[in-house]
Amino acid sequence: METLLFLVDGRTPNQLRPLTCSRNVLNRIHGSASWSQGDTKVVAAIYGPKSGTKKGENLEKACIEVIWKPKTGQSGKPEKEYEMILRRTLQSICLLNIHPNTTTSVIVRVVNDDDALLPCAINASCAALVDVGIPLNHLAVAICCGVVESGFVILDPSKIEEQKMKAFVHLVFPNSVLSVLPEESLHVGDEAKEHGLISSVTHGRMSVDDYLHCLERGRAASAKLSAFLRKNLQSQVPSNT
Amino acid sequence: MEDKASTSPASFINQAVVPGDVVLDLTNFSNQTIKLGGGLYQDSDAISVMKAGKLKFSKPNKYWVESSQKRYVPCVEDHVLGIVVDSRSDNFLVDIKGPALAFLPVLAFEGGTRRNIPRFEAGTLLYVRVVKANVGMNPELSCMDASGKAAEFGPLKDGYMFESSTGLSRMLLSSPTCSILEALGKKVSFEIAVGLNGRVWVNAESPSNIILVSNAIMRSESLSRVQQQIMVDKLFQRIQGS
């Protein structure tokens, strides 16, 4: 018999925390966005594209550099890891050959940390990239899924819930797109394109079945996140009068 | 959320689109030429969106995404406001809020010869025209129009320059004259230069008029035509009242 699991703040396991997103929050920055999921809040600021790349980078492509600033304290190893993951994720969604030999700096500042920090940062950076106007081939939506001892999967856990979990995984999916093409042409092999996976970072031990469960739940949630992001971006499009 | 199956391209025109949306299927346009403007790119047989904005179409075959940013993507024949950063022997380096610094050849002035090269200090504001804007290269500017005349290009003296978004610049330059400029022009006389790269320069007789006009323009971006008119009326009522 299945027992109903309610999370600390009264959500069901399939419910996401309240989301808010605002763009153009910082005045002198070329593009910025803030994203919050429940109590976790992250602000991403983007400068660029600026001319010149760092040494050793490909001159035919744009270069993205990420600076992660934690809420308190100095940047250490965990921050460097976040920077690397964020950089690889953003590199895969940007069209890098439109502005060759340029550098775009993404600065992520953690305002409040209530877990699911990396997905929040990825979502904020993606919204900020749209604000700057950097060409993207699709948007990225990120979600955190946790696995409890019994094998149950919970979406978007907060810090209290995270302590009860044996493992969790951060997943980044491309957004759902509207298209004029018939559905089949958007499929790669048997799967729809939007069911692809951009990044996946796991912590802790979980079985393969648990991981596949997380993927499924994450995909379903990414559709909701996609719709939220699309609505948010549309509402800030200036209307002609 | 599933993809909409075979929606016609007409349904995307004047709709807000986000990066990743596929808006045109090239297999329907077998023998025609299509011109793509900013924000769209070709992905084998389909045209996809790169920037979030509104998809626009102009007959017979031009498609583009209209969006408003703080930074500028250089395009040929745009009139922009640049700030001189440095000068070299054969060109000036000018910042036009784009990915790379632009070059302004020292001879690109009306009647320009090696003997009368203008001297611009760093920080001089110039109204210039973009002549070349290729991917990966620094854009090239000119202070002459296509026929070689000066035509109002060159340094702008006095006045006040402020930054805006590219969307606001386009609105100020739209024809018929946009409502905010018309309304302000009826009450106060001023001179204005609008750069498509998101810079606006305003000059008037007294500093208070300059500030009035600049603030009114900065606040008018999100307002409709009627709201802009009302805002200007209220502004002048407050000034005359005090």
Classify residue B238 by burial, with Cβ atoms within 10 Å: 0-12, 13-18, 19+: exposed
Assign A215 to helix, strand or coil. Answer: helix
Range from A6-10, B30-34, B156-160 that averages highest in pLDDT: B156-160
Residue B81's region, left for phi above 0, alpha for psi from -120 to 50, else beta, is: beta
Q: Report pLDDT for A210.
A: 87
Residue B142: band (very low, low, confident or very high) from pLDDT cuts 50, 70, 90: very high
Measured between alpha carbons, how far is A32 from A44 in angstroms, rounded to an integer?
6
Residue A122: band (very low, low, confident or very high) from pLDDT cuts 50, 70, 90: very high
Residue A190: band (very low, low, confident or very high) from pLDDT cuts 50, 70, 90: low
Q: Any CB–CB contact under 8 A between A182 and chain B?
A: yes
**Chain B CB contacts of A28 below 8 Å:** none
Q: Report pLDDT for B14.
A: 87
Q: Any CB–CB contact under 8 A between A25 and chain B?
A: no
pLDDT in tens, A141-176: 999 988 888 878 888 888 887 788 888 889 999 888
Select from B129, B232, B225, B233 the least CA-distant residue to B176. Answer: B225
Q: Report pLDDT for B4.
A: 40
Q: Report pLDDT for A240.
A: 41
User: If you average pLDDT over residues A217-240, what whole number do you get?
Assistant: 81
b/e sequence B174-198, b meaning 16+ C-beta within 10 Å:
eeeebbbbebbeebbebebbbbbbb
Q: For all residues of chain A together, what is the average pLDDT? A: 85
Measured between alpha carbons, how far is A229 from B221 in angstroms, rounded to an integer?
23
Residue A240 within any structural domain of the chain: no
Measured between alpha carbons, how far is B161 from B200 in angstroms, rounded to an integer?
6
- Between β-strands A102-112 and A63-69, what pairing exists: parallel, antiparallel or unpaired? parallel
Q: What is the pTM of this model?
A: 0.89
Residues 44-63 of B with CB under 8 A from A: 46, 48, 50-54
B67 pLDDT more than 80: yes
Instruction: Choose the weakest-confidence range: A120-129, A180-189, A197-206, A220-229.
Output: A180-189
Classify residue A59 by burial, with Cβ atoms within 10 Å: 0-12, 13-18, 19+: exposed
Contact in structure between B142 and B151 (CB atoms under 8 Å): no
Contact in structure between B98 and B74 (CB atoms under 8 Å): yes
Residue A241 within any structural domain of the chain: no
Give me B142's structure tokens: 């000119």
Residues 121-160 of B with CB under 8 A from A: 135-136, 138
**Cβ–Cβ gap B20/A174 under 8 Å:** yes
Q: Report pLDDT for A179.
A: 78
Q: Residues B62, B64, B70, B76: what is their CA dihedral angle, to the nearest 10 degrees?
A: -30
Which contacts (CB < 8 Å, 24+ apart) does range B89-96 have? B92/B120, B94/B126, B94/B128, B94/B141, B96/B72, B96/B128, B96/B130, B96/B139, B96/B141, B96/B195, B96/B197
Q: Identify the domain containing residue A155 by its residue range.
A: 2-235
Give me A139's structure tokens: 């948007």
Range from A51-55, A163-167, B36-40, B201-205 that averages highest in pLDDT: B201-205
Where residue A49 sits, what CATH number does that domain have? Answer: 3.30.230.70
**Chain B CB contacts of A100 below 8 Å:** 135-136
pLDDT above 70 covers a percentage of chain B that reads: 95
Q: Any CB–CB contact under 8 A between A88 and chain B?
A: no
Task: Write the DSSP string, A113-125.
Answer: -SS-HHHHHHHHH
b/e sequence B35-74, b meaning 16+ C-beta within 10 Å:
eeebbbbeeeebbbbbbbbbbebeeeeebbbbbbbbbbbb
A239 pLDDT more than 70: no
Locate the chain B residue with the closest alpha carbon to A94: B50
**Chain B CB contacts of A31 below 8 Å:** 69-71
User: If you average pLDDT over residues A188-207, what whole number do you get?
Assistant: 77
Classify residue A137 by burial, with Cβ atoms within 10 Å: 0-12, 13-18, 19+: middle
User: If you average pLDDT over residues B217-227, what whole number do you get?
Assistant: 88
Give residue B209's identity as a one-letter amino acid code. N
Other Cβ atoms within 10 Å of B122 Cβ, number:
12
Q: For all residues of chain B together, what is the average pLDDT? A: 88
| Residue B62 vs residues A39, B36, B40: alpha-carbon distances, Å | 45, 6, 11
Position of tokens 């904020």? A124
pLDDT in tens, B115-125: 989 999 999 99
Locate the chain B residue with the closest alpha carbon to A31: B70
Alpha helix ranges (H) inside A94-156: 117-132
Longest dimension (CA), chain B: 67
**Cβ–Cβ gap A102/B100 under 8 Å:** yes
Number of domains in chain A: 1
DSSP bridge pairs for B127:
B81, B154
Q: Report pLDDT for B213.
A: 93
Q: Report pLDDT for A155.
A: 85
CA angle (A227 as vertex; A225, A232 as ends), nearest 5: 95
B106 pLDDT more than 90: yes
In this structure, what are the phi and psi dihedrals at residue A48, rounded to the nearest 5 degrees? 145, 180
Q: Which residues contact A88 (CB under 8 A, 6 or more apart)?
A: A199
Residue A205 within any structural domain of the chain: yes
Contact in structure between B221 and B167 (CB atoms under 8 Å): yes
Rg (CA), chain B: 21
Instruction: Choose the weakest-confidence range: A12-21, A155-164, B39-48.
Output: A155-164
B242 pLDDT more than 50: yes
Q: Report pLDDT for A237.
A: 55
Instruction: Choose the weakest-confidence range: A181-190, B71-80, B94-103.
Output: A181-190
**Cβ–Cβ gap B52/A49 under 8 Å:** no
Locate the chain B residue with the closest alpha carbon to A27: B70
Measured between alpha carbons, how far is B126 from A47 in angstroms, rounded to an integer?
24
B1 pLDDT more than 50: no
Locate the chain A residue with the closest alpha carbon to B133: A99
Residue B71's region, left for phi above 0, alpha for psi from -120 to 50, else beta, is: beta
Q: Report pLDDT for B85.
A: 95
Residue B2: band (very low, low, confident or very high) from pLDDT cuts 50, 70, 90: very low
Residue A241: band (very low, low, confident or very high) from pLDDT cuts 50, 70, 90: very low
Contact in structure between A180 and B8 (CB atoms under 8 Å): yes
Residue A179 DSSP class: B
Q: Report pLDDT for A4.
A: 55
